[in-house]
Amino acid sequence: MSNAAMWIALIVFSLLLVYLGYLGNRSTSNTMEDFVLGSRKLNKLPAFFTVTATLFSAFSYFGITGQFYTNGIGAWIQVATTAAVGPIIYFAGTRIWLVARRYGLVNITEYLSDRYASRAVGLVAGLIVIVALVPYMGAQFRGSGLTLEAVTEGGIPYWAGAVFLAVVVTLYVMSGGFRSVVWTDVVQGAMMYVLLAVAMLILVFTQTGGFTELMDTVGEQSELLSNPGGDGLFSLQYLVSVLVIFAAAHFTMPQLQQRWMAARSHSTLKFIAISLPVGTALVYICCFYIAMVGVATRPGFPNPESIYPAMIMEVLPQWLLLLAILAIIAATGSTANSIVLTLSSIVAKEHVRPVMERRGSTGAALDRSLTLTTRVMLPLLVGGGLLVAFFGPQSIIGIIVAITWPAVFLIFPTLLAGLYWRRATAAGAVVSMVVSEVLFISLDQGWLPVPLGGWHPAMLAAVVGVLLLVVVSLATRPPAREHVDRHFALFEEPATTGARS
């Protein structure tokens, strides 16, 4: 593909996104609730696209397709995780939604600080998600850089592709905040679904004789259509680990939590719970068949995470290839934009707000200052993501499976205890999160030579974290009854008026 054609397409596409950001800015007021959550007016169709576009990213085009190619059909377990998270969103998500609306909370760490009556809880959780999600954001920039470098055969170098996406995302998120993110997610999400499906159909019917013949060929060549797969990765223990970790992490992810908080009504929240597994299945069907085409026609491909762009470069006409590449860039951008907005709000609320309050800032003036801080933090956090893209792990799926999801998963017990257990205390929450994260890292890095029997190290860390949460909470004084009732009374109102709106 010519560099000129690719650059023209990128510039036109980026101008569209920046224009949508400008439209978002025209509707956005200078308050945290509006800039970060769009004044909690997220409707069903935009909710579907912004949730799925936030969830699927470079992980889908590169990581999942590469995992199907290498390890086989067991990667489908990650579809089951979104089905499992549906009931969690419906029940626990309703509680988060009620509390956030009543008390003006804009992210998960602010909820934790408020529920446990302790800034330390939100501060620890905030540090964990920043450390976990900056690499995740970096993986998106890495995906953009790898794609553009591959399709232009080095004409657009890796660094330029990564920086390009970082700059565009920064511009439109700084402009309009949550509204800009949602509007661009609708465009980028639609592109992702349509062009991934088109690419799948073209690859299956031009490279093989159709779906049946493709599956017959793959079954004859490999063990990828059964578990534990060609290299034995998907054992029963690993499958259960992935199901538990990803389902809990999907609910806990702060950028997704903001979608639960932003829902206009409880019916919107229910719609998210039902539609998320459907959207996931559609993406995974495409990625699976694309990977199997690669297995059938390009066995032994040296870099499985690049199998999708490698194949479409050879098969698609240039105009369609341009659109397919833009869809990849769109998917990476639609995840990066949500992450950076969420992390910026966490820094503002958990790290900057206490300083401003000590200096006497209150009310509307404090809110405006925090909104400005959120905007200012955006390019700084994007810069951190770029550092990961340039100097971090080489494997996109490695970043996500080994760092991001397990780290966020270990916050889940503290979050769930806050929603359902009155006796949970700040000390229990902090000890649980800190010890479980340290234990996970120690097991993952091999510093503690504990035999895991095929289980993911985060599973053992989570068991220890839950035990510590219970024991330390029972041994320490809980927040005042009046404070705890402030939250739980919302869940116990007979009509739960807010939940039925």
Does the CA dihedral 66-69-70-72 come out positive or negative? positive
Torsion from C-alpha of 241, 244, 245, 251, nearest 10 degrees = 170
Question: What letter would DSSP give residue 348?
Answer: I
CB atoms inside a 10 Å sphere around CB 135: 23
Residue 484 sits at the vertex; the CA angle it makes with 479 and 489, to the nearest 5 degrees, is: 170
Cα dihedral 116/122/123/127 (nearest 10): 140
* 447/431 Cα distance (integer angstroms): 20
CATH number of 3-500: 1.20.1730.10
Q: What is the pLDDT of residue 291?
A: 92
Q: How sure is the predictor about 499, in pLDDT bands with cuts at 50, 70 and 90?
A: very low
The pTM (predicted TM-score) of the whole model is: 0.86
**Annotated domain spans of the chain:** 3-500
Task: Report, as an integer, the average pLDDT of 267-284.
Answer: 90
Exposed (0-12), middle (13-18) or buried (19+): which is 362, by Cβ within 10 Å? Answer: exposed
- Asked whether residue 495 carries a pLDDT value surpassing 70, the answer given is no
Nearest alpha carbon to residue 386 among 91, 162, 228: 162
Distances (CA, A) of 352 to 100, 127, 137, 261, 337: 20, 13, 22, 22, 21
Amino acid identity, position 4: A
**Is residue 452 scored above 60 in pLDDT?**
yes
Residues ≥6 apart with Cβ < 8 Å to 176: 20, 21, 22, 23, 24, 25, 26, 27, 28, 183
Q: What's the pLDDT at 485?
A: 92
Of the candidates 202, 172, 207, the one whose C-alpha atom is nearest the C-alpha of residue 187 is 172
> Of residues 118 and 1, which shows the higher confidence score?
118
What is the average pLDDT across 381-394? 82
Instruction: Reply yes or no on whether the pLDDT at 400 is more than 70.
Output: no
Confidence of residue 494 (pLDDT cuts 50, 70, 90): low
DSSP designation for 478: P
Question: At residue 501, does pLDDT exceed 50?
Answer: no
Q: What is the DSSP string of 277-341?
A: HHHHHHHHHHHHHHHHHHHHHSTT-S-GGGHHHHHHHHHS-HHHHHHHHHHHHHHHHHHHHHHHH
Q: Interhelix angle for 119-151 vs 3-26, to 10°?
A: 150
pLDDT > 90: what percent of the chain? 33
> What are the pLDDT digits (tens) for 217-259?
988 888 888 777 666 677 788 888 888 998 999 899 999 999 9
> Does the N-terminal peptide bond of residue 228 adopt cis geometry, omega within 30 degrees of 0?
yes
The residues that bridge with 263 in the sheet, in sequence order, are 42
DSSP characters over 31-55: SHHHHHHGGG-B-HHHHHHHHHHHH
Number of helices and strands in the chain (H, E): 23, 0
pLDDT band with cut points at 50, 70 and 90 for residue 114: very high
Specify the 3-state DSSP secondary structure of 263. strand
The per-residue pLDDT for 148 is 85
- When the pLDDT of each residue in the chain is averaged and rounded to a whole number, the result is 86
158 pLDDT exceeds 50?
yes
Q: pLDDT: is 116 or 53 the higher one?
A: 116
pLDDT at 498 over 50: no
How many other C-beta atoms lie within 10 A of the C-beta of residue 423?
A: 12
Q: How high is the pLDDT of residue 111?
A: 94
Tokens of 246: 């990803």
Residue 462 confidence class, pLDDT cut points 50, 70, 90? very high
pLDDT band at 367 (very low <50, low <70, confident <90, very high): confident
Q: For residue 497, is pLDDT > 60? A: no
Q: What is the C-alpha to C-alpha distance for residues 324 and 185, in angstroms, rounded to an integer?
A: 16
